[in-house]
Structure 1
Amino acid sequence: MDLNERDIDDWPGHGLTDAELDAAYNVRALAGEERFGHLMARYRAMSDAAVEGLPGHPGIVYDETGGERLDVWGPGRDGEARPVFVFLHGGYWRALSRADSAFMARTLHRNGVATVVPDYTLAPAATLEEIVRQVRAAVAWVHRHGRAHGLDPGRVVVGGSSAGGHLTAMTMLDGWQAEFGLPGDAVRAAMPFSGLFDLRPLTRVYVNEWLGLDVRRAAALSPELLPAGRSLPAVVAVAEHDGPGFLQQSRRFARHWGRAAELMVVPDRDHFDVVLDLADERSAVSRALLALVHSL
């Protein structure tokens, strides 16, 4: 990253007060505690229903260093290798799990696509740098071991919501693949939802209580500030009623990614329910994801 100190400190919204920044990024407060709790319960209930009776390989350790596990749902059988959607959960890097995050698995299975849902070590037990390493290791597992589990490592789409949108973008970048012995096109397409692509504002909001970032580290972990490189196809999705910070960041990241990116502002959805539309194959986001998969 070639940014001087002035560039690093001069981020969009740096002149806002802390209270204004909190309003832009505190989507839990925007939703309200009752609605937030209801939606978190829906994540788990919909995920449980989606995987009940579904063929799969749950609980596989994908990273010996971190000891974290992933679930494979709806893989191919009898030698079939299905395209893969790797979904990275949100929760501001400190909450949720793979058990809350498989709500799309049955819908994708019906459409010939497998779902891989990894856990990662939550902050503050892990630094954000380590969390990024772990999700990249999950992609590496698909490449090394996918065929033995009914997955096609040549057709991998990564997606995720909120913090998972940030982690998705960190797998879209060039340069990290060599460390894992992967080809440069290990990720063939991507679909971040309501992501965070410039982390510098978070150094001044409550999220930094568990991230512990300074502005320089935040900049180094910000996909919007890093070279787009190989422009793989991406749908950058965000909810119409999302937090202002998330809407602005999604628009900027789509511009940063260039012609390969499509910005999708999903009407009548908020930060937490937009990704649940992946469970409905008639929804715009499901159609967009399946179009990405079938274009590979």
Structure 2
Amino acid sequence: MSFKHSLVFMCFGFILTSCSLKKFKNIDYKTFHIEETPAPTLNIFTKRGTKDSLQPVLIFVHGGYWNSGRKEIYNFLGRNFARNEVTVVIPDYTKSPVASYKEMTAQIAQSIKWTQKNISTYGGDPSQIYITGHSAGVHLSSLAVMNQQYGVAPNTVKGIILNDAAGLDMYSYLLENKPTEQYNYISTWTLDPENWKAASPYYFIDEQTPEIKIYTGTKTYASIIAGNEKFVQELQKYQPDVQIEFLDKKHIPMVTQLFFPWNDRIDEIVAFMKK
């Protein structure tokens, strides 16, 4: 078969499998709005006919320096996991400078609580919720789960997949790199070091931390590599077998790889969820 015919066959197969999926758009997950901005919503991707056999659930939180990005960019990612019999939830959240990290995290926490309460309606198993994201999105999802201030009950989330996670120890980072107006960092973090520590998942690692799987790019930002290595060193006190899986990628390709349906990371994450 020629390359051209192979490509046509792949595209045709993609269309056929897409027909077996269902997308629910812009669902109100009952979170709060800030100032004059609308309350954010979420999208759900699932296979058709799943209500009789509930699937594990993956919440994906997008990144973007805490001041940009939107859930619609990640539709391909949602479909790719849904093809693997995973119900996918992709929430949006209010960005800085309108929102601080605390308000963003509270919104993500609300999306988790909404998912646990409602996801069975969409074919997902509320007892098998996992969460992931990329960059800033991993920070928000981890903090929402690990810091009990945000009201996500222990054992609600069974596992966290860190994908080139930023912000795991913002306290140490901001002590050396004081926040400025660049990237709206003052609006996001404030100038108070106590807020920086409260914003850092690193300081909430304990015996209740869900099982964690970690991917980090070898060509990503040096601060991300250092933050992930420090995080893992502390996490190994409670999860001694956890290790970083380093991938030969820069920061953005760490998430765009998940846009391709035959990526090994998708298989690995699904296996982590279904083991």
1:1-296 mapped onto 2 (5 Å cutoff): 54-66=21-33, 67-75=39-47, 77=49, 78-173=51-146, 175-176=148-149, 179=151, 183-195=153-165, 196-200=167-171, 201-202=173-174, 204-205=178-179, 206-207=182-183, 208-214=185-191, 215-258=193-236, 259=239, 261-267=242-248, 269-295=249-275
TM-score (norm 2): 0.80
1:5-64 C-alpha deviation (Å, 9 max, x unpaired):
xxxxxxxxxxxxxxxxxxxxxxxxxxxxxxxxxxxxxxxxxxxx9x97541211101024
Give the match's secondary structure for 1:218.
Answer: helix
The whole-number CA distance in structure 2 between the counterparts of 1:184 and 1:170 is: 13
Give the match's secondary structure for 2:273.
Answer: helix
Q: Tell me how far 1:238 sits from its aligned partner.
A: 1.2
1:264-285 C-alpha deviation (Å, 9 max, x unpaired):
1111x11001112223454342
Q: Tell me how far 1:193 sits from its aligned partner.
A: 1.4
Distance 1:281 1:176, change over 3 A: farther
Distance 1:137 1:75, change over 3 A: farther
Alignment identity in percent?
19
Give the match's secondary structure for 1:126.
Answer: coil
Contact conserved, 1:168 with 1:192, CA < 8 A, in 2?
A: no
Q: Tell me how far 1:75 sits from its aligned partner.
A: 4.6
The whole-number CA distance in structure 2 between the counterparts of 1:280 and 1:230 is: 33
The whole-number CA distance in structure 2 between the counterparts of 1:76 and 1:141 is: 21
Consecutive unaligned residues of structure 2, counting only runs of 5 or more, are: 1-14, 34-38
Range with greater deviation from structure 2 (272-281 or 93-102): 272-281
The whole-number CA distance in structure 1 between the counterparts of 2:250 and 2:31 is: 36
1:161-180 C-alpha deviation (Å, 9 max, x unpaired):
11011112113416346x3x
TM-score (norm 1): 0.75
Letter in 1 for 2:190: L
Consecutive unaligned residues of structure 1, counting only runs of 5 or more, are: 1-48
The whole-number CA distance in structure 1 between the counterparts of 2:68 and 2:25 is: 20
Q: Tell me how far 1:99 sits from its aligned partner.
A: 0.6
The whole-number CA distance in structure 2 between the counterparts of 1:218 and 1:189 is: 24
Q: Tell me how far 1:288 sits from its aligned partner.
A: 2.4
Q: Tell me how far 1:224 sits from its aligned partner.
A: 0.8
Distance 1:226 1:140, change over 3 A: same
What is the number of equivalent residue pairs in this alignment? 242
